[in-house]
Structure 1
Amino acid sequence: MDNIDKRKRLEDNPFSYQITKNKTVFLEYHGKQIKILKGKDAEKFLERIEEAENEKEVQLILAKITGNFKRGNERRK
């Protein structure tokens, strides 16, 4: 696990998610919505989250599922 997050960016817990009543999952990065999962994708995601052993694994799952959405030209708050 240490080899994956060499720059220690996941330690700040930049990713979060919210689940609605109808099992739609909203993925966020620093509070901004970046992806929506519905149906089987949402179910698969929730299963993976339940299997995670700690918060760092949850952050890694969230980072992987959001994919390569950052391109380096985003502004920081």
Structure 2
Amino acid sequence: MGDDPPVTNTPEGFTYRIRKNGDVEMLHHGRPAGVLRGAKAARFLADVDNEDPQELMARLTGNYRHGNERTAKNHPRNRRP
């Protein structure tokens, strides 16, 4: 459909690192996307082994696709004249 890139439903490009103080820093394509501290960091480290890490980090940072981008792009309000 035109020159739209293929839509993938799986998030990509997330990594995380554990800081010396126990905080978890999440990165998206090498850029800071969020920091988890205390109980949230501990829960993340427990869940990352049981779930898909990419989806987990996308959910926690709010940086994920909802599946309606193409529909929104074609909405009359978003079309360019």
TM over 0.5: same fold?
yes
TM-score (norm 1): 0.65
Normalization by structure 2: what TM-score? 0.62
Residue segments in structure 2 that go unaligned for 5+ positions in a row: 1-5, 66-81
Equivalences, count: 60
The CA deviation at 1:51 is 1.4
Secondary structure at the residue paired with 1:50? coil
2:61 corresponds in structure 1 to 66
Once residues 10 and 16 of structure 2 are traced to their aligned partners in structure 1, the CA distance between those partners, rounded to angstroms, is 15
Structure 1 stretches of 5 or more lacking a match? 1-5, 71-77
Q: How much identity, in percent, do the aligned residues show?
A: 30
What is the CA deviation profile of residues 14-67 of structure 1, one whole-angstrom value per residue up to 9, with x for unaligned ones? 111010122110011110002111101101111110213xxxx11000100101
Whole-Å Cα distance in 2 between the matches of residues 16 and 23 of structure 1? Answer: 16
- SS of 2:7's partner is coil
Larger-gyration structure (1/2)? 2
Runs of at least 4 residues off by over 6 Å: none
